[in-house]
Amino acid sequence: MMKTIRKPHLFILCFVLFGSSGCAAESTGDEQGSASVELKPSPTTAEEDFTLVVDSTPIDRENPKYLTSYAPVLRPAKEAVVAVHSASVMRVIRQRGMDPREEILRRLFGMPAVPSGQPEVEERKYPEGVGSGVLISAEGYIVTNSHVITGRTGAPADEILVELNDGREFSAVLVGRDPRSDLAVLKIEAEQLPYLKIADSDLLEVGDIVFAIGNPMGIGLTITQGIVSATGRNNLSILGEAGYESFIQTDAPINPGNSGGALVDAYGRLIGINTAILSRSGGSIGLGFAIPTSLAHSIIIDLVHEGEVRRGILGVSIEDLNPEFAEAFEVPEESGAFIQSVGQGLPAEIAGMRGGDVIVSINEERVISAADLRLKVAKYAPGETIEVGIRRGGELLKFRVALADPENPFGEGAQSGLLLRGVEVSVIGEEQRRRFGIDRSLEGLVVTSVESDSPYAEGLVEGMVILEINNVPPRSLKHARSLLEKRGASLFFVYAEGRSGFVSIRVD
C-alpha cells in the first residue's frame, strides 16, 4: 500500500448538520449565500508541489529470499581454512658440557674456554610467524602466501606446521613457492579433507559481498565481511618491482595473520588469497588486498607439477599508451602497451615487431596497459608460442612469437663459460643485471671475470657488456664463439662505465 502526502491548495470543510450534508467553502462573495461561489486559488510554488512517497509495505521476515545469516554458506568454507606455523632451525656450536651462560661470558669478555671436550652442534628453533592457508584438494594440497613460509633470511622455513579447524595438526612439506606472486603450495599427508571450490575471479564486480577467513594475530579462525572495493589493483609495489600484482581490493577487515587465508564469495567459493593491507598503524583500515584466483590458478598448477614457475619473455621495453601516443600512432582502442624498444636477437625482434608498435592483444585477449601485458605474458612458459596483436600506422597486425627464457634469453648453447683464454662471460639475465647494475636496454654478454694473466686483460674487464662481435649481436656463448675470427682481429662493440665503443681483439 502506498501513501502520498500532499500539501492542499484550498482548505475545504465537509460537515453534517440537521440531517443534511454539504460542503461550504470560505468565500468573500455575497453575504446572503449566492448559489455561485468564486474560488480564488492561492499562488503555487515549487515547495507546494513537493511530494514524498512512503512505502508502507511491512517487512516479510518469513520470506527465505531475504538473507538473515551467512552461516550456512560459510560453515563448509571455514573448515577448509587452516593455520600455518613456520619455524627456522639455527645451528649453534658450543663446547660440549659447557654451561650456555659460561659460553656467553667467554664470547663477550674473552674468558678462557673450559677444556671439557670436543665442540658440539646444538639446534635451536626460532618461530618465524603464524599465517593462514587454504585447502584446495581432498588430498592435502594447501595454498598460502610465500612470505608466510619464508624465514628472515629469505630462505624457506625449516619446519612448517599446519593446524586444521578441527584441532588436528600436520607437518607440511613445501611443494613449491613463487615469491614474485607471493604464492606457495604445501602438502600434508591426509585424506578426505575438506577443501574450497575455486571460482573465476574475473567475474567479480565492485560491490559483490566477500568474506575474509583466516587466523589473524594467531587468535584462531576468524571471518570478516565486506565488499569488493576494486579489482585489478597494480603498481602498489607490495611485491616489489619484480612482482606480479593484480589484486582484489576489499574492505573486509584483514589483519596480520590473515595472510594466506581465503577470500570467498557469497556462495562460499574461493576467489582470492588474502595477502596484504595498506595501513599506517599496522591494523585494518579497509584497504585489504587478495591475489585473485584467475592469477593464482596457473601458478598453483605450475608449483604442483614443476615446483617452480617459469615465465617467458617477449624482449620489449614498454610503457602505458597515453592519449597523445594513441592519436599519433592511430590506435582506435586508446589502450595497450607502447613499445619503446625491442631487444636485439630476442623474440619480439625475431617475429618482426619494432619500436613504436602498440600491443593491443595477447591471444585475442585485450591488453589494457603495460602492467596488464606483463601479467598476460607471464601466464606462458618459455618456448610457448603466443599471438600478439599490434597497431602500426593504424593497421592491425598479428605476430606469432615464441617466448624466451629470461635466464637464457638467446636460447641455444650454454649460459656462461670461457669465451677467450682467461675471460669468462655470461648471457645477461636478471642475476647479472643485479650483480653488475646493467640497464634493461642492454642485451648480449657480460664479462664476469678476467684472469690477471689473460692476454685479453687490457681490452676486456669485469662488468663490460659485449653488444656485438664483428657487427653481430651474440645470442649465446656458443654463438659468440662462432663469431670470432679464427685468424686476425675480431671487432668487439662493448659498453662499460656509461660509454660504448669498439675494442679490437686478436684471437690467439
Between 393 and 264, whose confidence is greater?
264
Question: What is the tens place of the pLDDT at every residue in 277-328?
Answer: 887 776 778 899 999 999 999 999 999 998 989 899 898 999 998 888 888 8
Distance, CA of 420 to CA of 443 (rounded, Å): 20
pLDDT tens profile 375-432: 999 999 888 899 999 999 889 999 999 888 877 666 554 567 788 888 989 888 877 8
Going by pLDDT thresholds of 50, 70 and 90, the confidence category of residue 23 is: very low
42 in catalytic set: no
The grid coordinates of residue 20 equal 443534511
Sign of the Cα torsion 126, 127, 133, 137 reads positive
Q: Which domains does the chain have, with CATH numbers?
A: 201-306 (2.40.10.10), 316-402 (2.30.42.10), 416-506 (2.30.42.10)
Residue 243 has what pLDDT?
87
Is 182 one of the catalytic residues? yes
Other C-beta atoms within 10 Å of 472: how many? 14
159 membership: H or E segment, kind and range: strand 159-163
Measured CA to CA, the distance from residue 51 to residue 439 in angstroms comes to 68
- Mean of pLDDT over the chain: 81
| Tens of pLDDT, residues 89-106 | 776 555 555 566 666 666
- 99-108, 214-223, 244-253, 435-444 — which is least confidently predicted? 99-108
109 three-state secondary structure: helix
Beta bridge partners of 227: 209
At 40, phi and psi to the nearest 5? -115, 100
Q: How does residue 13 score in pLDDT terms, banded at 50, 70 and 90?
A: very low
Catalytic residue among 259, 294, 369, 476: 259
Do residues 6 and 51 make contact, with C-beta atoms less than 8 angstroms apart? yes
**434 burial type by CB count under 10 A (0-12 exposed, 13-18 middle, 19+ buried):** exposed
- Compare 255 and 376 and report the one with higher pLDDT: 376
Which pLDDT band holds residue 110 (cuts at 50, 70, 90)? low
Q: Which of 88, 132, 146, 147 is catalytic?
A: 147
Letter string b/e over residues 181-209, b meaning 16 or more CB atoms within 10 A of that residue's CB: bbbbbbbbeeeebbbbebbebeebeeebb
- Helices and strands, number each (H, E), in the chain: 9, 29
Name the β-bridge partners of 428. Answer: none
Q: Which of 178, 182, 302, 405 is catalytic?
A: 182
> CB of 177 within 8 A of CB of 223?
no
Q: Does residue 259 have an active-site annotation?
A: yes
Residue 32 has pLDDT above 50, yes or no: no
Nearest to 443 by CA among 328, 351, 313, 353: 313
